[in-house]
C-alpha cells in the first residue's frame, strides 16, 4: 500500500498504479473519511463475513465433496450450486465491494492497480459460476471466488495492523499535547480545551502539569522537562522572557505563560507535520516500484487472458482454463511490490521522530543512506557556541581559591568570558565571595578587591601595567594561545599567580559522534570561519579527518560544491544563517535544532536535540531503511518471477504442480504481510547511544 495512516482521515491519494483497499475506503462512498483504527476494524469485519459464508460454500463445493468427503445435501431442496450462489451474495455484495469500488476508481483514473486484478479475479469466477447455475447447472467455483476474497481480506487486515504499528511515532506525538489548559481571564484561572486557546492568552502552568501551547514566560521560574519533544534528557531552566514549548512538563515552580503559537503553529504540530510529509513522500526507489507495479498489473491481465486461451486451445475444459487464468491474475497482484518501499519509509521516519530526528521527505531518508562525507560547521554544531573554561593553570596558588576570588570579581562584569569563569567556579563549588570594589578596564580586563585581597584579571598588558610579570606562566600562555585558547592572566596582591584558558566549549557527544561516523565509513570535515589554530585544536581533540578554516560565510557553499565535484556524496551540518547556502548545496542538509529558522527551513533533516551524535544516528536510520527497501523489492520481484509460471500451469502436465485461486490468494497476501513485517523489523535497528555527559 502506498498511502500513510493519519492523513487518510482528511485526504486520499494513491501512488501510480497502486491503490489499496484502505485507499478505496478513504475515498468516500458510504464509508466516508475513516481513521486507521476504523479501517482496520472494517477490514476485519469484511474478512469475518467472507470467512463465515466461505466455509459452508467450501463444504458444498466439489472440494468439500471430493476432498473433505462432505456428503450432506443442500437445505430446502435446493441444488448445491443454487445454495452456494445464495451464500456467496454477502461475500460479493459486502466483503468484496471495496475491490469493485477500487477497480472503478482506478479505471476512471485511467490506471491499472491491484484492485483491478482482485476485482476481475473474484468477479470473473463468480459471474461465470452464476451463468452456469442459471443455465441449468454444471461445474462451478463459487468457493474459489469467496475463499479468494477471504484470503485477500485476511492479508490486508494483518498488513494494515502491521502498518498501523509503523505509525506509533506520530500517534505518540499526537498524544503528548494535554487536552485541557488553565487560562487566566478577568484575573481568574479557568480550565478550557487546549484547542480553544488563542494567541495572547495568559496560561497558568502549575508544577507537574504540561504546558498546553508554545509561549513565553511572563512570571515565575522553573525547570522544564523538554525530553518528549527535543530529546534533551536534563530539565531546562526557564525564567521570564524564555520561550517554552507546548507538551513539555513543568517540573517545579508555577509559571504564567503568554501563548505565542497555538494549533497547527506549535512546535509539536510542526514536528507531526514533518513526519507525516516524510511518510507521504516518495523516494526514488518508490517511483520505480510504482512504475513496475503498473506494468505488472498489465502483464497479469494479459497473462491471464493468454493462459485462458492457451489452455482452451490445448483442449482443456473451460472451467480448468478459467481456474488457471484467475490464479495467474491473483498471484501476480503487485501488492508486495507496492508495499516494499512506503512501509520501510514509514517505519524509518517514525524511528527517526522518536529519536528527535525529523526527515522532511523520503528523498532525505534515502540520501542519508548514501552519504560518504559529512561537512560539519564548528560553532554551534561541534561546539556549544559559547565560551567555557578549558584549563586553570596556577603557580604556587590553590586552584579552587583562585577561582573563588576571580569569580567574585567577574560576577560584577558583563563580559562573556566573565560569565564562563563564573559558571566554572559554580560547577566546581569553589565557594562564594563578594567584591568590595570593582573596576572595569576597557579592552583589558577587570580589577576588584575580595576579602581584602587585590585581584587583577585580564590580558598581558593589564598585568604589566600593574607591575606583574608572568614569569614561568609565560610559556604556558603562549602554548594556549597557539592552540586557539584565550588565556586570561590572574594577579593577586601584586603577583601573577595563574592563567584561566577559555575557548568555545566542545559538545559532550562530539567525540562519540565522530567515532560513530568513522565506524560507518563516513569521512568528517570541519568547515569554519574561525582561525586555523582554533580549528586545528578542536579537530585534533575530536579526531576529525580534515579542516577547512577561515572560510567566509558566502564561500561555504562553494567548498561543499568542490567536494561534490570530486565525486563525493556530501552532507552538510550547520545551525546558522550563514550555513543555509551550504545546506542547500549539499546532497543532504542537516540542521541542528537549536539553530536559526533559515537553517532549519533549508535543511532536509532537522535534529531536535542539537546533538551531533544524532547525525550518525540519522545516517544509520537511512541505511537501515534503504536496506529494508531493497530486501522488500527483491522479495516482491522474486516472488512474482517464481509464482507466475506455476500459476499459469506450465509445470502441471509434467509434474502435476498447480495452484488454485484461493491458494494463490493466500500466497499473495502472505507475501504482502511478510513485506510489512520485514519493514517493522527496522525498529530493532541498533543505533548509536549518546555518550554520558561528564560529571559536574
pLDDT per residue over 556-582, tens digit each?
888 999 999 999 999 999 876 567 788
Question: What pTM did the predictor assign?
Answer: 0.65
Strands 243-244 and 236-238: unpaired
Write the DSSP string, 337-379: HHHHHHHHHHHHHHHHHHTTEEESSHHHHHHHTT--EEEEEII
Largest Cα separation within the chain, whole Å, is 122
CA distances (Å), 73 to each of 141, 279, 624, in order? 17, 54, 57
Give the model's pLDDT for residue 1.
30
Give the model's pLDDT for residue 4.
27
Q: Rounded to an integer, what distance in angstroms lies between the CA atom of residue 64 and that of residue 523?
A: 66
Task: Label residue 287 by pLDDT band (50, 70, 90).
Answer: low
Task: Label residue 163 by pLDDT band (50, 70, 90).
Answer: low
482 within 8 A of 474, measured Cβ to Cβ: no
Chain position carrying cell 472494517: 42
Give the model's pLDDT for residue 172.
62
More confident residue, 322 or 20: 322
Chain position carrying cell 503528548: 176
Give the model's pLDDT for residue 170.
57
Is the pLDDT at 11 greater than 60? The verdict is no
More confident residue, 219 or 535: 219
Instruction: Provide the angle, in degrees to the nearest 10, between the axes of the packed helices 510-519 and 613-647.
Output: 30
Give the model's pLDDT for residue 562.
93
Q: Lowest mean pLDDT of 113-117, 246-250, 351-355, 665-669, name the range.
A: 665-669
Give the model's pLDDT for residue 92.
95
Mean pLDDT for the stretch of residues 664-676: 75
**Span 539-552, pLDDT tens digits:** 888 999 999 988 87
Catalytic positions are 377
**Span 499-516, pLDDT tens digits:** 998 887 788 889 999 999
Q: Lowest mean pLDDT of 56-65, 180-189, 281-290, name the range.
A: 281-290
Give the model's pLDDT for residue 648.
86
Mean pLDDT for the stretch of residues 196-212: 91
> Sheet of 588-592: strands edge to edge?
357-359, 605-607, 588-592, 570-574, 373-377, 523-527, 546-548
Mean pLDDT for the stretch of residues 470-490: 85
Mean pLDDT for the stretch of residues 292-316: 84
Is the pLDDT at 615 greater than 80? The verdict is yes
CA dihedral 139, 650, 114, 363 (to 10 degrees): 170
Percent of the chain with pLDDT over 70: 83
Is the pLDDT at 50 greater than 90? The verdict is yes
Task: Label residue 49 by pLDDT band (50, 70, 90).
Answer: very high
Is the pLDDT at 482 greater than 60? The verdict is yes
Mean pLDDT for the stretch of residues 459-485: 85
**Residue of 138, 151, 336, 299 whose CA lies nearest to 648:** 299
Mean pLDDT for the stretch of residues 216-242: 77
Is the pLDDT at 671 greater than 90? The verdict is no
Task: Label residue 31 by pLDDT band (50, 70, 90).
Answer: very low
CA angle, corner 153, sides to 627 and 168, nearest 5?
A: 45
More confident residue, 122 or 112: 122
Give the model's pLDDT for residue 364.
87
Mean pLDDT for the stretch of residues 195-208: 91
Q: Rounded to an integer, what distance in angstroms lies between the CA atom of residue 398 and that of residue 516?
A: 39
Mean pLDDT for the stretch of residues 323-327: 83
Phi/psi for 579 (5° steps) reads: -90, -15
Mean pLDDT for the stretch of residues 251-278: 79
Percent of the chain with pLDDT over 90: 24
More confident residue, 281 or 129: 129
Q: Rounded to an integer, what distance in angstroms lies between the CA atom of residue 49 and that of residue 92?
A: 10
Is the pLDDT at 87 greater than 90? The verdict is yes
More confident residue, 1 or 225: 225
Q: Rounded to an integer, what distance in angstroms lies between the CA atom of residue 493 and that of residue 356?
A: 52
Give the model's pLDDT for residue 363.
85
Task: Label residue 290 by pLDDT band (50, 70, 90).
Answer: low
Is the pLDDT at 519 greater than 60? The verdict is yes
* Average pLDDT of the chain, as a whole number: 81
Task: Label residue 525 by pLDDT band (50, 70, 90).
Answer: very high
238 within 8 A of 293, measured Cβ to Cβ: no
Beta bridge partners, 217, equal 257
Is the pLDDT at 384 greater than 60? The verdict is yes
Is the pLDDT at 30 greater than 50? The verdict is no
Chain position carrying cell 459460476: 129
Mean pLDDT for the stretch of residues 598-612: 77
Amino acid at each position: 500500500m502506498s498511502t500513510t495512516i493519519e492523513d487518510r482521515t482528511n485526504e486520499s491519494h494513491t501512488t501510480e498504479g497502486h491503490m489499496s483497499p484502505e485507499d478505496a475506503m478513504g475515498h468516500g462512498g458510504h464509508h466516508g473519511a475513516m481513521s486507521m483504527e476504523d479501517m482496520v476494524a472494517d477490514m476485519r469485519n469484511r474478512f469475518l463475513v467472507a470467512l463465515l459464508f466461505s466455509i459452508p460454500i467450501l463444504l458444498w463445493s466439489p472440494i468439500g465433496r471430493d476432498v473433505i468427503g462432505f456428503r450432506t445435501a443442500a437445505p430446502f431442496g435446493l441444488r448445491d450450486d443454487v445454495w452456494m450462489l445464495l451464500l456467496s451474495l454477502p461475500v460479493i455484495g459486502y466483503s468484496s465491494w471495496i475491490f469493485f469500488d477500487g477497480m472503478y476508481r482506478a479505471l476512471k483514473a485511467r490506471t491499472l492497480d491491484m484492485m483491478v486484478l482482485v476485482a476481475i479475479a473474484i468477479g470473473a469466477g463468480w459471474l461465470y459460476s452464476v451463468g452456469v447455475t442459471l443455465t441449468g447447472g454444471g461445474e462451478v467455483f463459487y468457493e474459489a471466488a469467496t475463499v479468494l476474497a477471504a484470503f485477500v481480506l485476511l492479508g490486508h487486515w494483518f498488513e494494515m495492523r502491521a502498518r498501523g504499528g509503523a505509525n506509533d511515532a506520530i500517534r505518540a506525538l499526537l498524544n503528548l499535547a494535554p487536552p485541557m489548559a488553565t487560562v487566566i481571564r478577568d484575573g481568574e484561572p479557568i480550565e478550557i480545551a487546549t484547542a480553544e486557546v488563542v494567541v495572547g492568552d495568559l496560561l497558568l502552568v502549575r508544577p507537574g502539569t504540561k504546558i498546553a501551547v508554545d509561549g513565553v514566560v511572563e512570571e515565575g521560574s522553573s525547570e522544564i522537562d523538554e525530553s518528549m519533544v527535543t530529546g534533551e534528557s536534563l530539565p531546562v531552566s526557564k525564567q521570564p522572557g524564555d520561550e517554552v514549548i507546548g507538551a513539555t512538563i513543568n517540573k517545579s515552580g508555577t509559571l504564567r505563560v503568554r501563548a505565542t503559537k497555538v494549533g497547527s503553529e506549535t512546535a509539536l504540530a510542526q514536528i507531526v507535520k514533518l513526519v507525516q510529509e516524510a511518510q507521504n513522500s516518495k523516494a526514488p526507489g518508490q517511483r520505480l516500484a510504482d512504475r513496475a507495479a503498473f506494468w505488472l498489473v498489465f502483464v497479469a491481465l494479459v497473462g491471464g487472458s493468454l493462459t485462458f486461451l492457451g489452455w482452451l486451445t490445448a483442449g482443456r475444459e473451460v472451467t480448468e482454463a478459467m481456474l488457471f487464468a484467475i490464479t495467474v491474475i491473483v498471484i501476480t497482484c503487485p501488492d508486495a511490490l507496492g508495499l516494499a518501499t512506503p512501509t520501510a519509509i514509514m517505519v524509518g521516519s517514525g524511528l527517526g521522530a522518536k529519536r528527535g530526528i525529523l526527515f522532511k521527505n523520503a528523498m532525505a531518508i534515502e540520501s542519508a543512506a548514501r552519504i560518504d562525507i559529512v561537512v560539519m560547521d564548528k560553532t554551534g554544531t561541534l561546539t556549544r557556541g559559547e565560551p567555557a573554561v578549558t584549563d586553570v593553570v596556577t603557580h604556587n596558588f590553590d586552584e579552587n581559591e583562585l577561582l573563588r576570588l576571580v569569580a567574585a570579581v567577574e560576577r560584577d562584569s558583563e563580559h562573556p568570558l566573565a560569565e564562563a569563569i563564573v559558571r566554572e567556579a559554580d560547577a566546581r563549588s569553589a565557594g562564594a565571595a563578594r567584591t568590595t570594589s570593582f573596576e572595569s578596564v576597557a579592552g583589558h580586563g577587570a580589577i576588584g578587591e575580595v576579602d581584602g585581597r587585590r585581584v587583577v584579571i585580564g590580558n598581558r598588558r593589564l598585568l604589566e601595567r600593574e607591575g606583574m610579570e608572568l614569569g614561568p606562566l609565560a610559556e604556558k600562555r603562549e602554548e594556549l594561545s597557539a592552540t586557539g585558547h584565550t588565556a586570561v592572566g590572574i594577579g593577586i596582591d601584586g603577583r601573577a599567580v595563574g592563567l584561566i584558558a577559555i575557548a568555545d566549549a566542545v559538545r559532550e557527544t562530539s567525540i562519540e559522534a565522530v567515532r560513530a561516523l568513522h565506524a560507518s565509513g563516513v569521512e568528517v570535515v570541519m568547515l569554519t570561519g574561525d582561525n586555523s589554530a582554533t580549528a586545528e585544536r578542536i579537530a585534533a581533540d575530536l579526531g576529525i579527518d580534515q579542516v577547512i578554516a577561515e572560510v567566509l560565510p558566502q564561500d561555504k557553499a562553494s567548498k561543499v560544491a568542490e567536494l561534490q565535484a570530486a565525486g563525493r556524496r556530501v552532507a552538510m551540518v550547520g545551525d546558522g544563517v550563514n550555513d543555509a547556502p551550504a545546506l542547500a548545496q549539499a546532497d543532504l542538509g542537516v540542521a541542528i535544532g537549536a539553530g536559526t529558522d533559515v537553517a532549519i527551513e533549508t535543511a532536509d533533516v532537522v535534529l531536535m536535540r542539537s546533538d551531533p551524535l544524532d547525525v550518525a544516528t540519522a545516517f544509520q536510520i537511512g541505511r537501515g531503511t534503504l536496506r529494508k527497501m531493497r530486501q522488500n523489492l527483491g522479495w516482491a520481484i522474486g516472488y512474482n518471477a517464481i509464482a507466475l509460471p506455476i500459476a499459469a500451469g506450465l509445470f502441471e502436465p509434467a509434474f502435476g504442480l498447480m495452484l488454485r485461486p484461493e491458494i494463490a490468494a493466500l500466497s499473495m497476501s502472505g507475501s504482502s504481510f511478510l513485506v510489512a513485517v520485514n519493514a517493522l523489523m527496522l525498529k530493532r535497528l541498533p543505533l548509536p547511544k549518546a555518550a554520558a555527559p561528564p560529571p559536574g
